[in-house]
A and B are shown apart, each in its own frame.
Chain A
Amino acid sequence: MLLREPGGTVLAWSAGCERLFGIPAAAAIGRPARALLGAAPPASVEEAEAVLRREGHWSGELALRLPDGRVRRVAACWLLHAPDKGAPLVLEAALPLPGEGRPALDRLEAVAGFGTWELDLALGGAWLSPGCRALHGLPAEGEPPAPRAWLALLHPQDRAPVLRAARTALRGGGALRCRFRLRPPGQAERWVEARGGCPGPRRLLGILLDITAQKTEEERTALVMREVGHRARNALASVQALLRLTRAETPRAYARALEGRVAALGRAHALLANESWSGAALRDVLEAEFAPYIADAPARLAMEGPTVALEAGTVQPLSMAVHELVTNAAKHGALSRPEGRVRLSWQVGAEGLRLAWLERGGPPLPGPPPRRGFGSSLLRSLVEVQLGGSASLRWEREGLACEILLPRRALAP
């Protein structure tokens, strides 16, 4: 409620006015009412003033334009008080129309992180709430951006689809729901979703939600799905290669060799999955490969070395390489006898990881095998081609010795 002179100067400004229009009494009193609460087109204040002078009162709906550019729709009632003695006064009462309870909504926007907006083609203007302005990177108060300036804040690819969605909603009077990218000046691009509808002809209003986090998550999920598909295809290609390349004397021996190798692949994938495909610890890789052979006699494996984190891409080839050494030891070497032992020791230096494998206590070795089997070819191929390292094997009489060198890039940084 406000009191003013018929000429317009504000004499009193209620707490309700302060709340409704966001203008403190101190800033309002003494100023022309229409400078504070201008009439947005097509409302004509002149007409209302004429009725007020003629009949002593006027009531109706007004769209008031505030100094910061916002438009408030109110149901207004004006009364002219002309006492016999003293100056005449005008009392203006205004009630916010539904949806015009801004102060409460502004607080809600701030805590919930969304914005509201309104497009009124009849009034020829747009209005963005403080929350909506924040999403656009605009200062909390000020003129709303002109249509062209607003479009310029959108990702170029999203402009036409957004206009199309708005036109469709306006034409059909239906709901609006669209997602687009905003490029707030000086800020990172953000994804937003507009949801709204048409409460009347040529009016469109709704909310604007920041969905950047959701979009990022969706993109991450799509990437993970793509990666999982890629890994599955590669794992299948590896299994297919094993099927073709594994050689054995009997079908039974073939099946056993193949099962062992596929199981090693599987263990590597399980280790990686445990760590969200980020890598695995060297000790875990070694233990996983030995586990089936030393379950009842853990003392047969001695491990000595610092904690080493392996790069994700190293885990599968190294698991398979170690598997080849372990199965060979179980068939022909130290793990083929109860008293046999395997000692694994490693260091990390400037050139990378140096892993030494030493078998003792197995049957005496006559020397290198007459021809290189698939197992040792696979070991070399995994370590030298895939991991860019080197593998050297020495068939010492007391047992096999192997040294594997992996470059630094095979290790987690």
Chain B
Amino acid sequence: MTRLTGRRILVVEDEALVAMLVEDALQDAGATIIGPVATVAEALALLEREMPDAAVLDLNLAGETSTPVADVLAARQVPFVVATGYGAEGLPSAHADVPVLAKPYDPDELTAALGRLWG
């Protein structure tokens, strides 16, 4: 199993249960969680104070798209993976290289995808 020891990972997810599952899986892999937060505004506010090593980003947050968060992450060169309930549809083409996980996904897939972010 992928180890994420010492990595600080921002979790942006608006479904409490999924957020808890992600937290649980990432903590098991040795990571430290920043968040979780459920809205674009909260995520942007958190990013003003924190510099995570990576992020898990839900594409749709309570009806709004999380593209603004993706833009800030990309600008600050924070690698991230995207989770979406809308099947294969991903982020705008500017983020075409970002790994996409379709909900529901296996938490091990998430830790593996995060592990690959650092090559």
Any A CB within 8 A of the CB of B30: no
Q: Determine which residue in B16, B39, B86, B105 has the highest number of CB atoms from chain A within 10 A of its CB, and name it.
A: B16
Instruction: Report yes or no: A385 in contact with B17, Cβ–Cβ below 8 A.
Output: no
Chain B contacts of A233 at CB under 8 A? 85-87, 102-104
Q: Assign chain B's interface to a size class.
A: 20 to 34
Which A360-413 residues have a C-beta within 8 angstroms of B? 377-378, 381-382, 385-386, 388
Any B CB within 8 A of the CB of A229: yes
Number of A residues whose C-beta is below 8 Å from B? 25
B81 to chain A, nearest CB (A): 15
Chain B contacts of A378 at CB under 8 A? 16-17, 20
* Candidates B17, B24, B60, B62; contact of A238 at CB < 8 Å: B17
Any B CB within 8 A of the CB of A85: no
Instruction: Report yes or no: A237 in contact with B104, Cβ–Cβ below 8 A.
Output: yes
Which A202-245 residues have a C-beta within 8 angstroms of B? 226, 229-231, 233-234, 236-242, 244-245
Instruction: Report yes or no: A244 in contact with B21, Cβ–Cβ below 8 A.
Output: yes
> How far apart are the CA atoms of A3 and B24 in the complex, in Å?
97
Any B CB within 8 A of the CB of A352: no
Which A290-320 residues have a C-beta within 8 angstroms of B? 313, 317, 320
Instruction: Report yes or no: A245 in contact with B19, Cβ–Cβ below 8 A.
Output: no
> How far apart are the CA atoms of A317 and B18 in the complex, in Å?
12
Instruction: Report yes or no: B39 in contact with A388, Cβ–Cβ below 8 A.
Output: yes
* Candidates B16, B21, B85, B107; contact of A386 at CB < 8 Å: B16
- State whether A238 and B102 are in contact (beta carbons under 8 Å apart), knowing that A245-B21, A245-B24, A313-B62 are contacts in the complex: no
> How far apart are the CA atoms of A382 and B104 in the complex, in Å?
18
> How far apart are the CA atoms of A233 and B38 in the complex, in Å?
18
Instruction: Report yes or no: A240 in contact with B16, Cβ–Cβ below 8 A.
Output: no
Instruction: Report yes or no: B102 in contact with A241, Cβ–Cβ below 8 A.
Output: no
Chain A contacts of B37 at CB under 8 A? 385
Any A CB within 8 A of the CB of B36: yes
Question: Of all chain A residues, which has the CB nearest B85?
Answer: A233
Instruction: Report yes or no: B16 in contact with A234, Cβ–Cβ below 8 A.
Output: no
> How far apart are the CA atoms of A236 and B15 in the complex, in Å?
11
Chain B contacts of A317 at CB under 8 A? 16
> How far apart are the CA atoms of A313 and B38 in the complex, in Å?
12
> How far apart are the CA atoms of A237 and B17 in the complex, in Å?
8
B36 to chain A, nearest CB (A): 6
* Candidates A226, A240, A382; contact of B21 at CB < 8 Å: A240
> How far apart are the CA atoms of A241 and B24 in the complex, in Å?
10
* Candidates B19, B20, B86; contact of A229 at CB < 8 Å: B86
> How far apart are the CA atoms of A238 and B17 in the complex, in Å?
6
B interface residues (Cβ-Cβ under 8 A, vs A) = 14-21, 24, 36-39, 60, 62-63, 85-87, 102-105, 107
Sample (18) of A-B pairs whose CB atoms are under 8 Å apart:
A229-B87, A230-B60, A233-B86, A236-B103, A237-B18, A244-B107, A245-B24, A313-B62, A313-B63, A377-B20, A378-B20, A381-B17, A381-B20, A382-B17, A385-B36, A385-B37, A386-B15, A386-B38
Pairs of residues from A and B, 9 with the lowest C-beta to C-beta distance, nearest first: A241-B21, A241-B17, A237-B104, A233-B85, A386-B16, A381-B16, A237-B103, A382-B16, A238-B17
